C-alpha cells in the first residue's frame, strides 16, 4: 500500500514539474543559445547589427510591438519595415525554422539584453497564437 502511495505522489510531482513553465531567466539562457546560433551573424553581438541594411535589436522600437516581433521571427519579413524611423527592405529577414518555444526564448533574450528590458515574459503560447504574418 505504501508503495502505491509513493508511486502516486511521485507521479503528481512529475506532472506538476512538467507543466510548470520556464522562468524568465531560464528562458533567457536558452534564448541566448538560439541567438548565437541563428541571429548573431546578422544582428551582431551587442544587438547593434553588422551592416546598414540590418536593423538594430538594441533599443529597437519595432520590438515594443510583441505581435509583429513574433511574426517577423516566425514567418520572416514579408514587406518593408521601419525601425527607429529608418526603412528596411524586408528582403533579408527570413524564417529560421525555429519552434514556438525557441522563438519565445530568443524574444525573452533580446527583449532583456543590452539596453533592452521588459518584465513581461513571452510564452510559447503567445507565439502559437500568431497564425499568419502581420
Binding site for ligand HEC (CB under 6 A): 38-39, 41-43, 53-57, 60, 62-63, 69, 72-73, 77, 81, 83, 88-93, 96, 106, 110
Q: How far is the CB of 112 from ligand HEC (least distance, A)?
A: 13
**Hey, which bits of the chain come out as E strands?**
81-83, 86-88
User: Where are the alpha helices (H) located in 40-118, listed in sequence order?
Assistant: 40-43, 66-75, 100-110
CA distance 81 to 17: 41
Q: How far is the CB of 68 from ligand HEC (least distance, A)?
A: 8
What count of other Cβ atoms lies within 10 Å of the Cβ of residue 125? Answer: 11
CA distance 34 to 25: 14
Q: How far is the CB of 31 from ligand HEC (least distance, A)?
A: 9
Taking the least distance from each CB to ligand HEC, the nearer of 22 and 44 is 44
Q: Which grid coordinates are listed for 89?
A: 527592405
Q: How far is the CB of 125 from ligand HEC (least distance, A)?
A: 18
Taking the least distance from each CB to ligand HEC, the nearer of 22 and 81 is 81
Backbone angles phi, psi at 52, to 5 degrees: -70, -20
Taking the least distance from each CB to ligand HEC, the nearer of 23 and 89 is 89
Q: Which grid coordinates are listed for 123?
A: 510564452
Taking the least distance from each CB to ligand HEC, the nearer of 93 and 130 is 93
Amino acid at each position: 500500500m505504501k508503495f502505491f502511495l509513493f508511486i502516486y505522489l511521485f507521479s503528481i510531482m512529475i506532472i506538476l514539474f512538467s507543466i510548470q513553465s520556464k522562468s524568465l531567466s531560464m528562458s533567457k539562457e536558452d534564448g541566448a543559445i538560439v541567438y548565437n546560433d541563428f541571429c548573431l551573424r546578422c544582428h551582431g553581438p551587442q544587438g547593434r547589427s553588422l551592416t546598414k541594411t540590418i536593423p538594430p535589436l538594441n533599443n529597437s522600437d519595432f520590438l515594443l510591438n510583441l505581435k509583429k516581433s513574433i511574426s517577423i521571427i516566425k514567418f520572416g519579413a514579408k514587406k518593408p519595415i521601419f525601425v527607429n524611423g529608418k526603412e528596411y527592405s524586408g528582403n533579408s529577414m527570413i524564417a529560421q525554422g525555429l519552434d514556438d518555444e525557441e522563438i519565445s526564448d530568443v524574444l525573452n533574450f533580446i527583449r532583456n539584453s543590452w539596453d533592452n528590458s521588459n518584465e513581461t515574459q513571452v510564452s510559447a503560447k503567445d507565439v502559437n497564437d500568431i497564425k499568419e504574418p502581420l
